[in-house]
Amino acid sequence: MTATRVSSTGPTGRVAAVWQHRSIVRTLVVRDLRVRYARSWLGYLWTVLDPLLMSLIYFFVFTQIFHRSDVGHKPYFLFLVVGLLSWQFFTQSITDGATSLLADSKLVRSTSLPREVWVVRVVASKLVEYVYSLPVLVLFVAIYVARGDTHVNARIVLFPLGVALQIVMLVGFGLLLAPVTALVTDMQRVIRILLRMLFYATPVIYSPARVPKGFRVVIESNPMAGVLELQRAGLFKEPILWRSVVLGVAFSLVILGLGTWVFVRLERAVLKEI
């Protein structure tokens, strides 16, 4: 931290400042993972167990009780696993990102790091967990390919782009929500409810093509829909809904811009409050 510190810098200066401290972000991520695995020996299992069990439940509900195997792409279980792993990355980043300044307030108060670091660090930690969970996805893809139920196509190259889009969006949401949550106590509850509603407004457990025309605009303008389109494209033969992707990209960039602006405006007040 020998860098010169001046009170206020422009947006580019702030990005550069976070980049300068990337090794510290790495330290924090390592610490997060250590804490997570020091507390429970099931540590790694938990990150994959939750989405897998949920996949199993939805699979059971839709195919065994409602007898509808056409809700999503086929094979439906694989469709669910892709969606729920990604959704877990999304919700956990949002809930932890929102409390990123509060949860480590002692650290925020005692180090002069650029405050954006705390948000980026949460998304980075969750990203690592998400990446750790991908072998499970690969395993299921291998099983379904071996059984001849699906084929991996060239659009698989879109998968990392989907993850990149998700990262941009999550950093944006984190920057937006972290200072607001630090100032307004009720925010955490509001976020919890909104996330639950958003889950059903996102094509995680159903295919966007199944949505009636009148509601399609809701789905398409949901940024996670675009992310899921990109992540699923290589594993299923259904066409990509490019409208969702374009809108998702636009939305993510707007969120990132808005988040940065709000973060800078509220930073002062937050530092006095925590």
Interface ranges with other proteins (CB under 8 A): 1-8, 23-24, 27-28, 30-31, 34-35, 38-39, 106-113, 180, 183-184, 262, 265-269, 271-273
Q: What is the DSSP letter of 155?
A: G
Shortest reach from residue 71's CB to other proteins, in Å: 40
Token pair recorded at residue 40: 């429970």
Lookup result for tokens 């707007």: 254
Q: Given the complex with other proteins, which of 96 and 229 has the nearer CB atom?
A: 96
Q: Residue 149 and residue 237: Cα distance in Å, rounded?
A: 11
Q: Which is nearer to other proteins, 202 or 260 (CB)?
A: 260
- Closer residue to other proteins in complex, CB, 23/64: 23
Q: For other proteins, give the closer residue by CB, 106 or 147.
A: 106
Instruction: Give the number of other Cβ atoms within 10 Å of residue 141's Cβ.
Output: 20
Q: Compute the C-alpha angle 79/159/86, nearest 5°.
A: 50
Closer Cβ to other proteins, 39 or 189, answer by number: 39
Residues in the chain: 274
Minimum Å gap between C-beta 26 and other proteins is 9
To other proteins, the closest distance from the beta carbon of 254 in angstroms equals: 16
We find the least distance from the C-beta atom of residue 91 to other proteins, in angstroms, to be: 23
Which residues are CB-neighbours of 213 under 8 A, at least 6 positions away? none
Q: How far is the CB of 207 from other proteins (least distance, A)?
A: 38
Q: Report, in angstroms and rounded to the nearest whole number, the Rg of the chain calculated over CA atoms.
A: 20
